Structure 1
Amino acid sequence: MISNNKQRSCLEETFSWVRDMHGVPQDAVHHAEGDVAVHTFMVLDCLTQLPAWQALPPQEQEILWASALLHDVEKRSTTVKEQDGSITAHGHARKGAITARQLLYRDIATPFDIRESIVALVRYHSMPLWLLEKPDPLKTLARVSMEVNTAWLAMLARADVLGRICGDAQDLLYRIDCFEEFCKEHDCWGKAMHFASAEAKWHFLTHEAAWPGYQPFDKPVAEVVMMSGLPGAGKDNYIKRHYKHWQVISLDAIREEMGISPVDKSGNGRVIQEAKERARALLRRKAGFVWNATNVTAQLRQQLTELFTTYKAHVTLVYVEVPYRYLHKQNTNREAVVPAAVIDKLVNKLEIPALWEAHAVIYAV
C-alpha cells in the first residue's frame, strides 16, 4: 500500500507529488470545488463511501484508493489556461499513468499486478465518460478490458464525478451507467473481453468492421518472439532458458559487431535497420526467431509487430522485469553494460506491454 496513514496531513507531509496538487487550478465549469488537491481528497472521501467499494476485499480497496489518490497527479504538469479563459489538462491521464508506474516501481516497491492495476486505472479513469463517443467504442473497450478491471474503472469514474462540483454531474453519472451496460452487453464487465483464439483477437483488433466472434481461417506461417524489458532485467537469461535453439536477432550483438555505443543515437538507427533486414530475410523464409531488445514503448513495439505480421507471423511478446533495487546491479554484470543514466531514462519512458499488443503476451516478472 502507498501509506498506512491515510490522513491528508500525513500524505502531504510524506509525498511531494501530493503537495504539488495544491494550487493547481481547475476549470470552474467542471470543478467548482477548487484546485486539484481539494478535488482529489473529495474523490477519496466519495470512493470510500461507495457501497461497491466497501464490499471489496481489503487489497482491492487499496488498489482503488491508490488510484484515486494518483488519478490527477499530472495535472500539475499539463494544466494550461486557454485563450478563452478556460483551464484544461490535456494528456494528464496518460502522463499520470507513467508517473504512477515510476513511483510504484522505483520509490514504493509494489507487486507487479497491483502496480499495473493502479497504473491502468489512472490511465483510463475518464474512459467511462467518453467511451461511446469514440470512433470504434467496441474495439476501444476490448483493449481497455485487457488492461483494467472495468467494474473497478466504473467505480473510480463514479467517485471522480461525485468528488466535484459541476452542473452536469447527473449526465456524467448516466454515462457511467451506459458504460456499465455496454460492458455487460459484451461480456467484459469486470473481466477481459473473450476471444476464441489469439488469431481471432488479433483479427478483430487490426481489421475495420470486424466481429469479435469471427475465427480467421488463415494460419500464421512463422513464429516471432519479441522481448521487452529494461537493460539488466534478464532478457538474455530468459532466452537461454526458453528459446535456447532459436535464432536470435539481438540489437546489443549487432551494436557490438558494428562498434556502436549504446548512447550513439545515429548509430543506433543503423543498428535497428540492420536488425530489420535480418528479420525480413528470416520471415521471407518463414523462419521463426527471437527479437531481443528493450522495446520499452508501445509505439516501438507496434512498429515491429506491424513488420512481423505483414509476413503473417504469430507474435509472442515477452516482458521481463526485476525489482528496481536489483536492476542496476544486474546491468553491471552484463557483457554490454548500459550507463546508469540511460537505464533511469528508460525507466521514465517504460510502458508495459498490454495483452492486446500481440497475439500472445507473457509477463516474466
Structure 2
Amino acid sequence: MEWTITKNKEWSHLEQTFPWVADMQHVPQDAVHHAEGNVAIHTRMVLQALQAAAQYQALPPQQQQILWAAALLHDVEKRSTTQQEGSHITAPGHARRGERTARAVLYTQVPAPFAIREQVAALVRYHGLPLWAMEKPDPVKSLLEASLRVQMPLLALLAEADARGRICADQQDLLDRVELFRAFCDEQQCWQTPRRFADGLARFTYFRKENGSPEYIPYDDLKGEVIMLSGLPGMGKDTFLKKHYPGLPVVSLDDIRRRHKLKPEDTSATGWAVQQAKLQAREYLRQGQPFAWNATNITRSLRTQWIDLFVSYKARVRLVYIEVPYNDWLRQNNNREHAVPHAALMHLLQKLEIPAPHEAHEVVYVV
C-alpha cells in the first residue's frame, strides 16, 4: 500500500487539516517574482502545474505521492522567514527550515517510512537548487551533495513546477535553468543515481576539501575507529551500543553529567563535561583504540566539530543514526530513568538534521 500525505487533495480540506497550509494565505511574496500573490496561491499553482506535467503522470504512484507532498511543503517555512528588505520581500533560509518542518510533520502527524520521509524533506531542502546551481560557490560539489540525498529527476520536476506555478517576467529563464540543470546532472554522472565514489574515504575526502576531484582516490592511512552515535534523546542509543558493541569503550556526555551530578541547563557545567569527554576521546585517539562517542549529535555543525577532532588523529568514523517510530520514542523516553520533558523533545525534533551520507567515512541508518 502506497504512502500518501492525504487522500483528499482538495485545498479546502488541506487548510482544515493542516494548520501550516492555512498559514500560507497570510504569507506575502515579492511581486517581481510572484505576481500571482501569496504563498497559498503560489503553492496551488505549483501543484496544478505538477499534476499537469506528462513526466509527473508517467511516474509510479508512490513517486507521484512523494513529489506531491514535497510540492505542498516546499515553501512551508516562508511563514517564519519572510521579511521586508526595502521595497522587496524575501524569505532567506526558508528551504533549510522547511526541510526540518517537513521531517517533523511526516514523523509526528502523517507518519511516513523513513526513506520516503527523507526524500520529501530533501526535495523541500533542495527545491531551489535547479534554478540557482550555477550561482553556487562550487556548483559541482553542491550538485553532488544533493545527489546523495535526493532523486534528481524528481527534483527537476519540482523545480519546473515551481517555475510554472507563478507569474513573473523571467519565467522562461527559470525554465531554461531547469533544462540546464538536467544536462549538468547528466554531465556529472548523478542524474539517475547518486554520483559514485571509489569508496567511503574518497567520498568523505572530496566533500571535506576545497578544489578536490570526485575521481581522486586518497591513500588510506586511517587507524582505529570511532563509532559516533546520532539520535534524539530516548531513541535507544545506549541499548544499541550494548547490543552491537559490547565491551567497546564509550565516551558519553550524559554519563559524565550524571556521574558529577551536573544539570543539563547549566552551560558552564556542560562546557566542563565536554572538555572531560574530549580528554577521554583524545586518549583513545592517541592510542588508535576504537571507542564509541555517545551523544545526541543532532545537528551537522556539532557533528562536524567532533568529526574534525577524530580525523585529525586519522581515525575512521562510522556515524550511526538511530530512530524509532514516534509513539515508540515517546514511550521509551517516558520509561527512562532520566526522562526528557515532552516540550524539550519537540524542540530538539525541530532542530534535527539527519546525517548526510558524506559526513563520515561510513554513515549507517538504524531505523
Query: Using the alignment, how far apart are the partners of 1:337 and 1:261 within structure 2?
Result: 13
1:104-183 to structure 2, matched below 5 A, reads 104-183=106-185
CA distance in 2, matches of 1:216, 1:81: 47
Distance 1:23 1:73 in 2: 12
Q: Does 1:46 align with 2:49?
A: yes
Letter in 2 for 1:268: T
Residue 30 (1) aligns with residue 33 (2) = yes
Give distance in 2, aligned partners of 1:287 and 1:172.
Answer: 53
Higher alpha-carbon deviation: 213-222 or 34-43: 213-222
Structure 2 residue runs without a partner (length 5+): none
Once the two structures are superposed, what CA deviation does each residue of 1:305-358 show, in whole Å capped at 9, x if it has no partner?
Answer: 111111111111100001111112111323333233322221121111111111
**Deviation of residue 202 (structure 1)?**
1.3
Cα deviation, residue 176, structure 1 = 1.0
- Structure 1 runs of 4+ with >6 Å offset: none
**Rounded Cα–Cα distance in structure 2 between residues aligned with 1:76 and 1:280:** 44
Report the AA paired with residue 101 of structure 2. Answer: T
From 191, 200, 203, the counterpart of 1:201 = 203
**Residues in 2 aligned to 1:330 and 1:264: alpha-carbon distance in whole angstroms:** 25
Question: How many Å apart are 1:23 and its aligned residue?
Answer: 2.8
Distance 2:321 2:8 in 1: 34
RMSD between aligned residues: 1.1
1:15 corresponds to 2:21: no
Per the alignment, in what secondary structure is the counterpart of residue 210 of structure 1? coil
Q: Determine the structure 1 residue equivalent to 2:301.
A: 299
The match for 1:62 is 65
Identify the residue that residue 76 of structure 1 maps to in structure 2: 79
Q: Structure 1 residue 150: deviation in Å?
A: 1.1
Residues 203-352 of structure 1: pairs in structure 2 closer than 5 A: 203-352=205-354
Give 1:27 shift.
Answer: 0.8
Secondary structure at the aligned position of 1:69 is classed as: helix
Give the whole-Å Cα distance in 2 for the aligned partners of 1:190 and 1:74. 29
Runs of 5+ unmatched residues, structure 1: none
- Aligned equivalents of 2:143 and 2:321: distance in 1? 23
| CA distance in 2: counterparts of 1:155 and 1:193, whole angstroms | 19
Q: Distance in 1 between matches of 2:308 and 2:104?
A: 28
**Counterparts in 2 of 1:9 and 1:341: CA distance versus 1, 3 Å:** closer
| Selected match of 1:86 from 85, 88, 99 | 88
The residue aligned with 2:8 is: 5
Q: Is the 8 A contact 1:262 1:338 kept in 2?
A: no
TM-score by length of 2: 0.97
Which residue identity is paired with 1:270? Answer: W
Tell me the distance in 2 between the aligned counterparts of 1:99 and 1:288: 36
Aligned-partner SS, 1:204: helix
* Structure 2: distance between partners of 1:44 and 1:134: 27
